[in-house]
Structure 1
């Protein structure tokens, strides 16, 4: 494995050098960048690269592999990790100040990419991709790439993906003679049949908090043929969107556990892991909370299925939750790309995915080595979902948090018995106003 990774790394570095760095060999090197052409085996000797990651298992996995990268390139890599909120705050402060560091950082593209691009904080990566055919960028799932594309340009390389799937209790379905739901109507019927609140068993558990639930209703909306917006037009009040939100609200209102309005994913998955829900719908990346015996009372009874189909088929979100981005003000862009290229190579993705980090390279999902950290059924569902799905789980606007609050209120009102159509009309007006303001209308 190490020899393979070394060969891939050196091949990539040769490409980076031949395409850009060797042009500087005849002149003086920039301060702090050394003269890479003078030492082909250690092309970035003397450089120090600044990397910022979230406190995430991927960051832990990549830190274990860094000594090999440093030995092959001659550069030193300083990695700092922060909790998600702290990371967002740190990046905003440093990038607003036009800081040259960090050179590379983890970015949540659906939450941050549009704003970062608008502020010229991150560099487009398209030209780097043209320099090395062996990197095989076509190996990344189309949806994961699309999640990182803004205005036709690529601003991040996917490192962690998420797909919306259905978790279910194998034992309960088998005992009741219920097949795994393949459609949303079948899910509604199964949740109703298994719902037994007197014995603390609920048909369905999922997020009910106003902002967190928005990503979860997305797949219900998409599968009915709707979306949050169409171009610059808000579409929360369309029949398709209302149908999707109504289904979700019904599942939680009629078959959900008590207190759903206060549940984000930790609380909802906790209900399922405690054996108190027949179904749970959320991202596949959360699976260890249901299969780890230390966290789950039903660890050996959990099944995984593709998101059920609506009128337009099964259209779950299939997104990049984390990607690597390059600081537009970095003075070490070639070195930064060398790191990104290595960290997202087939060999490195295989190594990080073996630690349970779901990546975006289809070839890794096709390899036996790439799926060892995942239950067989989950790996099959993930691999199939990676082939399609929708590239966003939240509205494609700069102020994602504000949009989520507006749209999430519709479902919460429906759960409490209010008129969902009236709520959707009001939300659509508010959402349209937000879009218009952002677009300068």
Structure 2
């Protein structure tokens, strides 16, 4: 789901937190919105952390679910998205740490003992989850975290503008660059990729036929195809056809909706807002292939619920996670489809989600199934930063891609050695 439009929060930012960042976050108390559960039950009190989603009704929904739980008093901290990462990791170091929190799978949290093993509550329903969602949360055969939503990301575009400019849906990165040039007119730029371009780093790598790491946790992004992709991205960046410095970032639909661009990289969560503003004049396509032997790609973000293994009520927190994110299928479908469009990680729920069965949402699901890539739990903050530095060096500043990738290899290699020996 998107972050609120009044923040500078990038959905990728949350992927970057490592426990080492916590000290920089300060220990300020988080927002005072309490979604206190209504049940007396055992008298156990639990606190859960959520980032402030951009879609209307999300905060009320989370608190409604918590209130319906009778075996503990569940308080919700609804934290401004721009502050979420720092506040979460700072507070995890204190006595006020939350019992459970939403985040993304990261191996450091497992290795540091920060997140509890949830294998026992997931195992009975494991076969009902998308296998990629299980794999991306599993370390050494144990599963940490329950996926709540899958968020595919792709290009949204205006078919009417394509028709007017004589442009077809791009199937290669070269065609995307050509389309952006033809669609740029006056105040309308052809393409928007977000203000820092970070959202398309992994899709570009996948579409070049490469990957971040291979199945042996070795570097897989330093290929001729990725070098070619970086050079093409540089030509796009300097073309004048890319919208730069938009009022909101890529996760917010405003750039396309307000006519600032003809194509925008964004997430399926924003689909209802695109449709509300543009009606039928909106389509989607994946990140196109970068090289002849590449393949289109779709990044599947999303959010997962974790239990703080260092909390005071680990068992009670696990019971709540099981109740809400495994047993309550009605709430899970509501969360995935009532406030924006997301794909339920549970196959049984996804199959009955009527809002995703036709039109543009169905097209998004099809792209997700055909071209989807999920988070790699071993791809850490330092590694993410290393490739962001490559984009800064090559795409923004025009540096040599090989030299920039060599520098990234050194940084990523150090991380891999620490994690995997």
CA distance in 2, matches of 1:420, 1:404: 11
Which residue pairs with 2:103 in the alignment? Answer: 107
Matching residue within 218, 221, 224 for 2:205: 221
SS in 1 for 2:374: coil
Change (3 A) 1:316 1:357: closer
Is residue 78 from structure 1 mapped to residue 75 from structure 2 by the alignment? Answer: yes
Aligned residues: 373
2:132 counterpart (137, 140, 143):
143
Structure-2 separation of matches of 1:403 and 1:420: 13
Query: How far apart in 1 are the matches of 2:247 and 2:112?
Result: 34
> 1:303, CA displacement in angstroms?
1.7
Contact 1:62 1:343 in 2 (8 A): no
1:313 to 295, 299, 304: 295
Give the distance between the partners of 2:388 and 2:189, measured in 1 at CA.
27
1:29-40 → structure 2 map (5 Å cutoff): none
> Conserved in 1, the CA contact under 8 Å of 2:333 and 2:353?
no
Is residue 262 of structure 2 the alignment partner of residue 278 of structure 1? yes
Residues 318 and 388, structure 1, Cα contact 8 Å, conserved in 2 = no
Contact preservation (8 Å) 1:108, 1:322: yes
Mapped partners of 2:305, 2:59: distance in 1: 11
SS in 2 for 1:390: strand
SS of the residue corresponding to residue 366 of structure 1 reads helix
Q: Deviations over 1:244-287 (max 9, x none)?
A: 33333333332533646x88725995443322322222332344
User: Residues of 2 paired with 1:334 and 1:305: CA distance?
Assistant: 43
More helix per residue: 1 or 2? Answer: 1
Residues 288 and 244 of structure 1: CA distance in aligned 2, closer, same or farther (over 3 Å)? farther
**2:390 corresponds to 1:397:** no
Compared CA separation, residues 286 and 342, structure 1 to 2 (3 A): same
Corresponding residue for residue 240 of structure 1: 225
Q: For 1:90-101, what aligned pairs fall within 5 Å after superposition?
A: 90-97=87-94, 99=95, 101=97
Q: Is the 8 A contact 1:205 1:252 kept in 2?
A: no
User: What SS does structure 2 have at the residue aligned with 1:145?
Assistant: helix
Contact 1:159 1:324 in 2 (8 A): yes
| 2:115–2:144 CA contact under 8 A, matched in 1 | yes
State the partner residue of 1:36: none
- Give the corresponding residue for 2:63: 63
In the alignment, is the contact (CA less than 8 A) between 2:126 and 2:134 conserved in 1? no
Contact 2:252 2:266 in 1 (8 A): no
**What TM-score does the superposition give when structure 1 sets the normalisation length?**
0.73
- 2:251 & 2:370 partners in 1: Cα distance? 30
How far is 1:158 from its partner?
0.9
* Alpha-carbon distance change, 85 to 281 in structure 1, aligned in 2, over 3 angstroms: closer
Deviations 1:350-381, CA, capped at 9 Å, x for gaps = 12122225232333333254539xx8313432
SS in 2 for 1:167: strand
- Selected match of 1:87 from 84, 96, 102: 84
Instruction: Find 1:426's aligned residue among 404, 407, 411.
Output: 407
For residue 415 of structure 1, report the CA deviation from its aligned partner: 4.0
Which structure's CA Rg is the greater one? 1
**Deviation at residue 416 of structure 1 after TM alignment:** 4.1
Question: 2:111 is matched with which residue?
Answer: 118
1:385 aligns with 2:368: yes
> What is the match of residue 47 of structure 1?
44
With over 3 angstroms needed to count, the CA separation of the structure-2 counterparts of 1:425 and 1:401, relative to structure 1, is closer
Q: Partners in 2 of 1:263 and 1:435 — Cα distance? A: 37
Give 5+ residue unaligned stretches, structure 1. Answer: 1-41
For residues 339 and 150 of structure 2, the distance between their equivalents in structure 1, rounded to whole angstroms, comes to 14
Q: TM-score, normalised by structure 2?
A: 0.76
Return 5+ residue gaps in structure 2 as ranges.
1-38
